[in-house]
Structure formats: C-alpha cells, structure tokens
Chains A and B, each alone.
Chain A
C-alpha cells in the first residue's frame, strides 16, 4: 500500500509533465510553425482588421430601426433583428452566433415549441425570398434554412438554400443571376477528398466576395 502510494504520487508528477504540459506545448509549437493560420483559427481580414473566421458563421441580420433612428427593442430589451437583404443569410442559430459561449437548442423531436420555431423560421424565410422567387412553396425550402445548427455557428448553408437566396441578392445588388451563382460556386467548400461530408456554401466568404464585387450601400444602414 505504502509502496503503491509512493509510485502513484511520483507517476502523477511525471504524467502531468509529459502529457499535460510537454505534449500540448510541443503540439502547439509544431502547429504554429507548420500551419500557423489554421492553428490560430483561420482568421479572415478586411482592410487589415480581423472580421471573423472562415470556420465560424456570422449573423447577417441588422437591427430594425425606429423612425428616430434608434433600434427597436423587444420585451426583454434586446434589439429586434431583421435579415439584411444585401447579404446571404446564415442558418438560424439559438446562440446568437456566439463564438465563445456554445450550447445546443435541445428541444426534443416531438416538441411543440420546436415545431412553432420551425414554422416561424419558414414563414420568415418565405417572406424574404418569395418576392424574388415567384411560386416558392414551403416544400421547396431546404431544411438547413429553417433548422438551427448544432454549433450555433455553422459557417455553411446548403447549395439549394444559396440558389434561392441568390435571386434576392441579384435583384438587390443589381448583379446578373449568373454572376451571383458563379460567386456561390467559387465559395462552396466541396466534399473532403471528393466524397466525404456534404458540400456547403461558406456564407462569410461569399458575402465578402459580394462586397468586393459591388460595394454595399452604406446609406441604407
């Protein structure tokens, strides 16, 4: 017993040094040399300032303004948001697209609250896109557009979702639909190795590309 205790105590010191400090620090050092930008979070810069990470989805909704220019607030005092029509919209998130506080939605598959949330999201999506997609029906909307993500910051939307939104972007930005669809293609992350996973359109990079193509109308904001 005493011998076991001494061995254990000494081994805890050794293991903590090797596994707890040396291993992560060496891995950090090697990663920082071999894959510096990826190890630091694949940051995206605009005019020399970090505006996000290509792996972390962002909110492309803007506050609804009152006539006096102040944001409208909901009952809890939070600003009410609406999609900015100039941008492709990310998938819905329950975490407010937080990059540091993450949690799941956790509503069960038979939850009435969940069904209500889907209905609300679907109605909002149709209200935004139908003017630009005549005849767009409920069944035409891909599920990723109305169901929340696991991480809260899914950087991708499905290609079907992007193609629907592309018509709005073309109308609002005065671009041809073909050009917008080309940009969608350019900013689609293909399947890994050609067959793993699902293709996804990277919303942040696509919107950055749009801004390079046609500078956004600052006046409207």
Chain B
C-alpha cells in the first residue's frame, strides 16, 4: 500500500462528502416542487410531457395507488423491452448485423434492466445492436433509476407527513427525477468522459492492420452517453463485455474518478435530501455516517488484500512488493492506469451501491479482496445502495434498529416522532428478510442440482463462490459478477462452437431480480403509508435520539449482525476457505 493510494481514496471521500449537501439540497427542492435554477429551461418541457402522457400531476396518490402505478408501469416496460430485444434483427442502427436475442437470455437481460440490476449474461459488443443499447437498455438505465428515486421520495413524504395519507404523484416524481436530475447530470458526465477518450460515435467497428502487421478490430459506439447514466443510476451494465475495464469505456484515471464518483453521488446525496425533507438535517447526516463508515472499512480491507497478492502469484514467485515504477500487488485482471488502489476503491464502491460495474476482473481478486464485494451486497444494498432503493432499504433497517433499541430499554420505539408498532415491524421484516432468503434458496438450488453446473467456470471453492456471488448479486439488484459464472456462452469464447444461453441460470436469475426489486419496494411504500397517518409525538427527555453517534453505531451493528447471521455459513464454504489457505485448486 502506498501513501499515493491512500491519498486518492481520501480525496474521493472528501469530494463525495462536499457534494452530498449540495446535490441533496437541490434534489429536495425538486421533490418539494420548488423552483430550481433549471426551472426556466425545463418547466415547459415538463408540462408538455404531462400533457402528452395525459396525467394530472396534482392528483395525489396514497401508498396503494402509488405502488400500483409503479408496478403497472414497470410491467408494461418489461414487455416492450423484451419485444425490442427479440426483434433486434429488423431494427435500424445495427451496423454489425446482430441477430435477435434468444428467449432465455432476453428474459434475464430485460428483468435485469427493469429491476435496476444490470446483471450481464449477454455480451454487449457481440450481441446487441446500437438500437438495442440506446432505445432499449439506455432508456432503462434512466427509467429504472428514476423509479427507485420516485418511490424513495414517496417513502420520505410518508415519514415526514403530519397525518395526510397521500405520498405524492408517481408520474410527477418520475418525470421530475428524469428531467431535473438524471438528464442534466448525465449529459455533463458524458462530455467529461468523452474529453478523456471514452468513445461516442455511431460508426461501426473498424478493422485495421497493427504496427507489426497483425489484425485488430476496434468496436465503437455511443458509449459515453450510456456510461454516464450507467454509473449515475447505479445500473452498471456496460457497453462492452469487460465493462469499465475497457479503455473505450474508461480511458484514464480521471475518467475513472468521475465514473466511481458518479456511482455514489446520488445515493449519498439522497441522505441529505432525506434530512431536509423530514426537517432535521442531522438525521440525514447520521445515515450518511453509518453508510460511509461501512464503506471505508470495505475499502481498507480490499486495498490491503489486493496489495498483498494472491496465492497463485506467490506460488509462481511473482513479485508483490510495490517499488519504484511499479505498484506491485495482485495485478491479474487489473489495468495499469488504475493500479491497486483505484481497483480496490471501485470494487468496494460498486457493491456498496447496487451498481455492479467493474474496472477490474472480480473473479481474479484474492479470497479476502473478493469477500468485500460479497459482504457489501449481503448487507442488503444499504451501504448507500441503489439510487432510491438503497435509502428506502436503509430506512427499513433504521426501523429495525429502533425497534431493537426499544426492546432493550422497554419503551415503545419511535422514529422521527412516530410510534413504530406491530404492523410496521412485520412489513420491515418482510422487506429485509425476503432478499437473503431468496439468495440462499437459489444458491442452494444451483449447487445442489445438475442444472447449475454448466454455468460454473472454476473448480472447488471458487466455483461455489462464483455461484453464491451470482445469486447474491442478482438477488440484491447489484449486477456485479465473478464473471466466470455465466448464463450465456459467448460466440467467441475459447473452444466454443456457437453462442447459446443456459436456460436455468437465465430464468432463476431473472425471477430473482424481479422479486428482489419489487417485494422490498412495496414493503417500503406500505411502511410509509402506515407511518404517514400517525400523529407526531413531540420530542421529550425520554426520546431515543436517532441523530447521534450512538445511534449510528447501533445501526451499523444491526446491519452487520443481520447479514452475518444469514450469510456466514455460506461465506465459509467459499471465499473464507480461499482466504485462509495458500493451497491451489
């Protein structure tokens, strides 16, 4: 580990912390329908959109109506995207003439994008046309993110409400999220990325003769515009198969910084939005502190582990020490321009948020370094988490922590002056326990039956880690991968005669992603609907404060304990075994 490496990690934290209240305040004004500096430009477009889609943004919805609209909208969009992928062959912007997708891989891909997971069983540059990437997947990068943020805005209103049962209007929240937040930030981000060398063109691929006389084909595409929103919307699905490791998708250390900043920018800022909307900014900072503390712990462990090098590296006597002119460490599956520190930072951050994009090969991380992303996801994606979904997931955890604290001191638990009672706690348990249950059941199904076997690449514990990682990632709507595990055999993979999907992995994964998205989403809305109508009890001397360091510690402990109780046995069988041994398999 080098001072240079720590400096870069510290710089990242400082920039993120400074931007949190700035963007958070802006988003609070957007969700409270106040005037912002973009209003003069965007308000006409906003009104036009409402008129065209025939909605009245002033019509308020209670939690049931809000949830119903969210589900209907997502279901219809699922169908449209599926049709686009299945009929790709007849669409324009297909310079390389790719065929339509198969039903199983398409099912997985569509479920993946609708649920804001962006798990990639498909190979972007080998199977998808520019039309599918732009009109299909890129639209979902925006929309699935905006759905998460809209639902969060409604949930926050429920927590902040003084008796009114309405949580807002889904269409208004959705349209304002897209126009005022995601579009402007993406556009600026895309231009910064292009300035660093990320490609943005409609040209087809280019065959050329290399300097020494060999052949090379360069794939291009409208990449920067998609990468900006892929990072910003905690999506993660790349333009190229190796995602942000590919230089055309992530060209320099500066583009890398912008991309890794964009992963946490909105999820972090939403804590500040929350604080402002409930009228107590310290409540927002308390959540930020809990998230940031868990994130830093992950970065430190991942950085140390990767710098230490892998057993395979040591067996082959490959140097691991950093020295003049080299970072040392485990550089297998990592890019020189990012080095160890930026790869470790990215891997931690991308799994804290439910982003899942990668700038290095996760399968090649050391046992301990590979445990960090796995554990991050197993916390239920609440360490910042997905845009919107991370914070409403965190709020469910907060209610759980408050409930446990209440049991310990023997008082009725309260949060923000509202009593947390049996109905809320039941909903919280559904929301927090559904996902781990699905992850464990699907992993068990995949390793215990013969259907999971064709997807596994590595033998031994690594194969188990791959499987556990795959279902944890899909079950938590993350989308990052130990890419060895597959549901789609690439057309040009070594020794492969043709592309085909692995139906079991595609279907189980797709179902897992859809349910993991919508079960907690509906649970969070239901909790908010229930809290909205409650009377606010004034703060008194006996009130359990939720904006203090004590509460932050309690919250972190609850999250860690819930995750540990659920997942330690499974972790022992895979990555921990690997981390404890230098043996080769």
- Which residues of B are found within 8 Å of A55, using beta-carbon distances? 197, 247-248, 251
Residue B138 lies at the interface, judged by CB distance under 8 Å to chain A: yes
Asked if residues B217 and A99 are in contact (CB atoms below 8 Å), the reply is yes
Surface stretch bound by B, among A66-74, A141-149, A170-178:
A141-149
B136 contacts A20, C-beta separation under 8 Å: yes
CB distance from B140 to the nearest CB of A (A): 9
Residue of B nearest to A120 (CB): B316
Q: A110-B311, A141-B319, A143-B318 in contact; A27/B200 too (CB < 8 A)? A: yes
B132 to chain A, nearest CB (A): 10
Q: Is A140 touching B492 in the complex (CB atoms < 8 A)? A: no
Residue of B nearest to A38 (CB): B197
A-B CB contact pairs (8 Å), 14 listed? A8-B73, A19-B143, A27-B194, A27-B225, A28-B201, A28-B225, A35-B195, A55-B247, A99-B205, A114-B332, A150-B358, A151-B246, A163-B325, A192-B257
Q: Which of A1, A196, A200 contacts B68 (CB 8 A)?
A: A1
Minimum Cβ distance to chain B for residue A7 (Å): 5
Check A56–B337 contact: CB distance below 8 A.
Answer: no
Known contacts A15-B142, A16-B135, A150-B245, A112 near B585 by CB under 8 Å: yes
The answer to whether B217 touches A27 (Cβ under 8 A) is no
Whether a CB of chain A sits under 8 angstroms from the CB of B484 is yes
Q: Are the CB atoms of A52 and B208 closer together than 8 Å?
A: yes
Please name the 8 residue pairs, one residue from A and one from B, whose CB atoms are nearest each other, closest first: A197-B253, A160-B325, A108-B462, A150-B245, A118-B316, A159-B325, A198-B339, A142-B326
Smallest CB separation, B25 vs chain A (Å): 25
Query: Which A-chain residue is minimally distant from B490 (CB atoms)?
Result: A103
State which residues 65-116 of A face B: CB under 8 Å.
84, 87, 91, 97-112, 114-116
Q: Within residues 25 to 63 of chain A, which ones have a CB less than 8 A from any CB in chain B?
A: 25-28, 30-32, 34-35, 38-42, 46, 49-53, 55-56, 58-62
| A186 is an interface residue with CB less than 8 A from chain B | no
Q: B47-55, B151-159, B544-552, B556-564: which one contacts chain A?
A: B47-55
B338 x A198 contact (CB < 8 A):
yes
Docked complex: A168-221 residues within 8 A CB-CB of B = 189, 191-193, 195-198, 200, 204, 207-208, 211, 221
Chain B contact residues (Cβ within 8 angstroms of A): what range? 35 or more
Given A14-B53, A32-B201, A151-B246, also A106-B361 (CB < 8 A): yes
Residue of A nearest to B310 (CB): A109
Q: Which of B205, B210, B329, B363 contacts A59 (CB 8 A)?
A: B210
Given the known inter-chain contacts A111-B584, A196-B257, please indicate yes or no for A149 contacting B333, CB distance below 8 A: yes
Q: Is A12 among interface residues, defined by CB-CB distance under 8 A?
A: yes
Q: Flag if B4 contacts A195 (CB, 8 Å).
A: yes
Identify 6 new A-B residue pairs, CB closer than 8 A, beyond the known A103-B493, A152-B242: A38-B197, A105-B364, A108-B363, A109-B370, A150-B333, A150-B334
A143 & B211 in contact (Cβ 8 Å cutoff): no
